[in-house]
């Protein structure tokens, strides 16, 4: 780590976002409206249960109502969509979050796309993805939006920079690539079939790691002065980058934990409040 390496503190960014919501929640309360997020958890995956609990606790601390719906792991696609449709029709529910991943027998894309675009606060629908691509999404995917929020909070320039995104998932790698492109970065998207991956990453002024493998990105892949944003979260509080070695070359870097994760949750809360305001 050099003396000038900036640690991008996600807790700080998340606090700023949540503080900006307090007055808005109070104004909604004066109208008799309490923002409400419904979270659906299918099965008993312990990591998913932890994420859902964290989101529920974050809601309560801010005065947002949280409804948790637990479904058995043998739930069918049709049964899940029926639950989603009931939540779509409930005017007291402003946001719907289906915790990813779902069990294998469920058509996850069909389930995601059953969520009303007005309640898609996690930015997972096909329509929401398309709106994000055209740069007018009300609720872009939360983790990509969190990455952009961190860059904006710390005044990290994006325009004209070469951003390298490692990962192409429809709720992380692809949408963050589009968001960076919409902010006039030149974007290279890498994935499991990419050849000469390390050489491509070395070109990045901004590197986004969203590959889902612990310590995947090596320190010598990072060119001196690059900004490194780690969107990974693996068992043992380990990100997708080899932090101890990447920090030696980076000009700015997100830690894991306390990097992108807290901002992702704050973004989800922000989207839920915005959805309630639109209904009001």
Confidence at residue 46, expressed as pLDDT on a 0 to 100 scale: 87
Could you confirm whether 230 is annotated as catalytic?
A: no
- Residues 247-258 pLDDT 10s: 999 999 999 999
Q: Which residue has the higher pLDDT, 127 or 51?
A: 127
| Catalytic annotation present for 218 | no
Q: What is the mean pLDDT of residues 197-217?
A: 97
pLDDT exceeds 70 at position 1: no
Query: What is the percent of the chain with per-residue pLDDT over 90, rounded to a whole number?
Result: 93
- Res 23: pLDDT: 97
Closest-CA residue to 231 (of 179, 180, 173): 173
Task: Tell me the CA distances in angstroms from 18 to 12, 62, 259, 273, one per residue in order.
Answer: 10, 8, 16, 10
| Greatest distance between any 2 Cα atoms in the chain | 57
State which fold the 142-261 domain adopts. Answer: Rossmann fold (3.40.50)
Which entry of 55, 161, 174, 270 is annotated as an active-site residue?
55
| Residue position matching structure tokens 């390496």 | 5
Same fold for the domain at 31-116 and the one at 142-261?
yes
Query: Which of 98, 42, 108 is CA-nearest to residue 73?
Result: 42
Terminal alpha carbon distance of the chain? 49
Query: What are the residue ranges of helices labelled H in 37-92?
Result: 46-62, 77-89
SS3 98: strand
Over the stretch 68-79, which tens digit does the pLDDT of each residue have?
999 999 999 999
DSSP category for residue 102 = P
Averaged confidence pLDDT in the chain: 96
Amino acid 50: pLDDT: 87
pLDDT digits (tens, 9 = 90+) for 73-110: 999 999 999 999 999 999 999 999 999 999 999 999 99
Q: Where are the beta strands (DSSP E) in the chain?
A: 6-7, 36-42, 65-71, 95-98, 162-166, 186-190, 206-209, 227-230, 252-253
CATH, range 31-116: 3.40.50.10860
The domains of the chain are located at: 31-116, 142-261
> Considering 113, 120, 122, 230, which one is annotated as catalytic?
122
Give 3's pLDDT tier (boundaries 50, 70, 90). low
For residue 257, whether the previous peptide bond is cis, meaning omega lies within 30 degrees of 0, is yes
Q: Can 122 be counted among the known catalytic residues?
A: yes
Q: 9, 18, 99, 183: which one is catalytic?
A: 99
Name residues whose C-beta falls within 8 Å of residue 215's C-beta, 6 or more positions apart in sequence: 238, 239, 240, 241, 242, 243
pLDDT of 4 over the 90 cut = no
What's this model's pTM, rounded to 2 decimal places? Answer: 0.95
Label residue 235 by pLDDT band (50, 70, 90). confident
241-270 average pLDDT score:
97
């Amino acid at each position: 780590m050099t003396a000038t390496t900036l640690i991008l503190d996600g807790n700080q960014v998340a606090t700023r976002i949540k503080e900006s919501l307090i007055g808005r929640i109070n104004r909604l309360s004066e109208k008799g409206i309490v923002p409400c997020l419904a979270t659906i958890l299918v099965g008993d995956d312990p990591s998913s249960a932890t994420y859902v609990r964290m989101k529920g606790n974050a809601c309560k601390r801010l005065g947002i109502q949280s409804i948790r719906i637990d479904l058995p792991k043998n739930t069918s696609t049709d049964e899940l969509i029926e639950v989603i449709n009931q939540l779509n029709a409930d005017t007291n529910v402003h946001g719907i979050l289906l915790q990813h991943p779902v069990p294998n027998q469920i058509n996850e894309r069909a389930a995601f796309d059953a969520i009303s675009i007005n309640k898609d606060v996690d930015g997972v629908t096909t329509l929401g993805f398309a709106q994000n691509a055209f740069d007018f999404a009300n609720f872009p995917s939360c983790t990509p939006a969190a990455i952009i929020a961190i860059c904006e909070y710390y005044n990290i320039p994006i325009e004209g920079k070469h951003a390298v995104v490692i990962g192409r998932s429809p709720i992380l790698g692809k949408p963050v690539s589009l968001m960076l492109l919409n902010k006039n970065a030149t974007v290279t998207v890498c994935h499991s079939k990419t050849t000469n991956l390390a050489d491509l990453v070395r070109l990045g002024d901004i590197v986004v790691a969203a590959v889902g493998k612990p310590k995947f990105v090596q320190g010598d892949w990072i060119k001196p002065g690059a900004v490194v944003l780690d969107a990974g979260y693996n068992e043992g509080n380990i990100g997708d980058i080899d932090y101890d070695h990447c920090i030696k070359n980076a000009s700015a870097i997100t830690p894991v934990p306390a990097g992108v994760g807290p901002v992702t949750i704050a973004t989800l809360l922000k989207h839920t409040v915005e959805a309630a305001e639109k209904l009001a």
